[in-house]
Structure 1
Amino acid sequence: MNKKTRFSTVSLAVLTLLGALHFSISALQAQSVNFAALGSKGGKASASSCVLIDDKGTLATVVELGSDLQNATLVAGGKNVPLKYVVSDADSRVALYQIPVASIGLIQNPIVLGSSLSLKPSQAVYTSATDRSVTARVVSREHRFQGKTLPLAVLRVNHAQDAPLPGSGIYDDEGKLVGLVRQAVHHAPSSSYCLPAEVVSRIRSDHERNGKVSRCWIGIIMDEWVAAPMVESVRPGSPAQRAGLKKGDVILSIGDRSVRNYTEVVDAFYYLVAGESAKFRVLRGTEMKAFDVKPEVSPRS
């Protein structure tokens, strides 16, 4: 999918450059992942928090620009443990790592993945799955930055103190993970941009199915400046054409995500996985129709 020519999207890397300076050494937690600097220009060492996502020792974290994805060390329980790189997503900067079998016990209690879809402005969230003594609040779901559409929407959250490290978990009232801190907001160190927890599920699903993480394509063209999420054209031989989508269809939902405009379609597309069918509900004239579309790896991936 693109607008009349291509997506007008801005990388989350721009947000990183503006927000990274607000994390201080004093924010380091007892459990963190340290990254070596890349050897190239702009390389820098960094530290992120992390969450354990299963009982097999799989960690999810966020890696800052300039840090070496392949050179990560878990710091926990007074020990430094080299981690095995599994997979990462360039758009979100979320990466998965494997703790060596002998060291899995350093981190207890895998998180339970929740959903960010029902989060509302002012809703209470927490930086601990169990401790409710410090409350943070959801501000908004951001689809644009500096006038351009982000490849996936991020949550803005206000904290009582400085924003936690990248990779820190954000939890709902039930103690379920609903987000991962991406970075502090530029000029607002007590606010953070957070990645929806569904990012972790999307990365795992793509890696398990396809052995890598790739952006998807179904072959529709949309106009960013048209208010309704309307299909401008469908490419011949594309997944969209094979499924039955047509020019003029107004997209109402993609999978379990309702969409009202172009930016919400872009966000929903981020969560599509190549080879995994998704239900597209559309308005065609006065008729409601549904189509199962099987995305393919984007030709630009």
Structure 2
Amino acid sequence: MTRLLRQTFLAMALFGGGIAYGVWLSSPRGQAWLQQTPLATWSQRAGEGVGSLLPWSESPPESASPADAVRPSNFIAAVAQKVGPAVVRIDATRTVASPIDPELFNQPLFRRFFGGQIPQLPQEFQQEGTGSGFIIDPNGLILTNAHVVEGSERVRVHLLDGRTFEGKVKGSDPVTDIAVIQIEGENLPTVTLGNSDQVRPGDWAIAIGNPLGLDNTVTAGIISAVGRSSGQIGATNKRVTFLQTDAAINPGNSGGPLLDAEGRVIGVNTAIFQRAQGVGFAIPINRAMEIAEQLIRNGRVEHAFLGIRMITLNPDLVERLNRDPGRSTTLTVQEGVLIGQVIPGSPAEQAGLREGDVIVEIDGQPIRDAEQVQQLVDATGVGKTLTLRVIRDGQARTFQVKTGVLPVGS
């Protein structure tokens, strides 16, 4: 009975609504609306659902930006077509020592097996690696990762149009993982550089490269985060922050461009998390070009250097350190950066800093973590003086430290 009543009420409601709508359409206002709505519009909107046919339905929201309004639905394909010719494959050949110790075959077990025919293994062999890069100058300057060409004796560059060039490494900076290659060419296709300082999480990200030797592979995603520190991604020996993206980046993508939705380069693809999927990293293009300009001009990059090893303090760590019976001093601050080691002969040692000092301020700026110290040192440059306020044995002290040049291989 209840079900029958519900069906009856529903039928009455639909019938009443239809009558009301028909009455409205027959009214002068309804007739005027019908005359203003062409048949083509009705046919087009019929596929959009009943709601779009109603005169009081809302208009679709306007695009968030003019770029979104004119961006074609296949903009990724358009970007790939535009930028692809400027993305190159880099084959780097290097000589490496054999990993097998020849003395291994002098062991009794091997002598018994081989007899007097001990195999003569080469002491070294040629190893070839593949990476990506992109042309930043029509006369043949190419930006890539330093690890792509590290230790290489021969570099070959392959363009999408089938041409192959011998390349020369103009400069390489392992500290930021940026390198510049020169090839002899004219009127080569080039990329357009963007502004990585304007990149936001959620922006489109398009990667082009040669993963696993598969030339000109295109993947897409978004910018997942900006400003990832080297410590956060497990690359503590790098002095650069990173863009994080979920665009697929695989071995061989290193050195290729990360692009925005308009096809402008916003980063240099450089790393992935081996234990995760959809987590890749790129060096922001603004920082990459700062390094590239120094490599083109000087062939090397000088990085500022204090000469200390640092530990970021927090209340839990301070409590554990203060319980350590091997420590001769007690920490009296809950945050800052503890100097764990002072490198002999370094600017820090010459200025009088010691192991156990806690840096709490640099040039009047409060210090929270080791990454902040490194960023301030990098921004200051070589040969400049920093004012450090430290806590030593519970007392605040101030030191003037003149930055030096980071030794090669540090």
Task: Kindly indicate whether the alpha-carbon contact (under 8 Å) linking 2:253 and 2:269 is maintained by their aligned counterparts in 1.
Answer: yes
Query: Which of 312, 322, 329 is the equivalent residue of 1:225?
Result: 312
Query: Which of 88, 91, 99 is the equivalent residue of 1:32?
Result: 88
Alignment-derived partner of residue 16 in structure 1:
none
Task: Give the 3-state SS of the residue equivalent to 1:105 in structure 2.
Answer: coil
Query: Which of 173, 191, 199 is the equivalent residue of 1:89?
Result: 173
Task: Give the 3-state SS of the residue equivalent to 2:253 in structure 1.
Answer: coil
Residue 106 of structure 1 pairs with residue 214 of structure 2:
no
For residues 1-301 of structure 1, what are the structure 2 equivalents within 5 Å?
A: 31-40=87-96, 41=98, 44-64=127-147, 68-76=151-159, 77-100=161-184, 103-109=185-191, 111-112=192-193, 114-116=195-197, 119-127=199-207, 134-139=220-225, 141-144=228-231, 149-152=236-239, 153-159=241-247, 161=248, 163=250, 165-172=253-260, 176-188=264-276, 190-197=278-285, 198-205=287-294, 208=297, 211-219=299-307, 221=308, 223-227=310-314, 228-230=335-337, 232=339, 250-251=360-361, 260-266=368-374, 269=377, 273-275=381-383, 277=384, 295-298=404-407
Distance 1:187 1:178 in 2: 25
Distance 2:249 2:310 in 1: 39
Quickly say closer, same or farther: Cα 1:53–1:70, change in 2 above 3 A: farther
Task: Give the 3-state SS of the residue equivalent to 1:53 in structure 2.
Answer: strand
* 1:176 CA drift (Å): 4.6
Task: Kindly indicate whether the alpha-carbon contact (under 8 Å) linking 1:166 and 1:182 is maintained by their aligned counterparts in 2.
Answer: yes
Structure 1 unaligned runs (5+)? 1-28
Residue-by-residue CA offset, 1:69-119 (whole Å, 9 max, x unaligned): 34112211211011121011123432111121xx2323234x325335x65
AA aligned to 2:141 is: T
* TM-score, normalization by structure 2: 0.48
* 1:65 CA drift (Å): 6.2
Distance 1:253 1:196 in 2: 27
Distance 2:169 2:408 in 1: 26
* 1:243 CA drift (Å): 9.8
Distance 2:190 2:288 in 1: 22
% identical equivalent positions: 18
Alignment-derived partner of residue 44 in structure 2:
none
Structure 2 unaligned runs (5+)? 1-83, 100-125, 209-218, 315-334, 392-397
Residue-by-residue CA offset, 1:216-263 (whole Å, 9 max, x unaligned): 3135x4641324444759999976799999976534689xx9974113
* 1:44 CA drift (Å): 3.6
Alignment-derived partner of residue 9 in structure 1:
none
* TM-score, normalization by structure 1: 0.62
Higher strand share: 1
* 1:167 CA drift (Å): 1.1
Higher RCO structure (Cα 8 Å, ≥6 apart): 1
Distance 2:255 2:205 in 1: 16
Moved more, 84-93 or 189-198: 189-198
Quickly say closer, same or farther: Cα 1:217–1:282, change in 2 above 3 A: closer
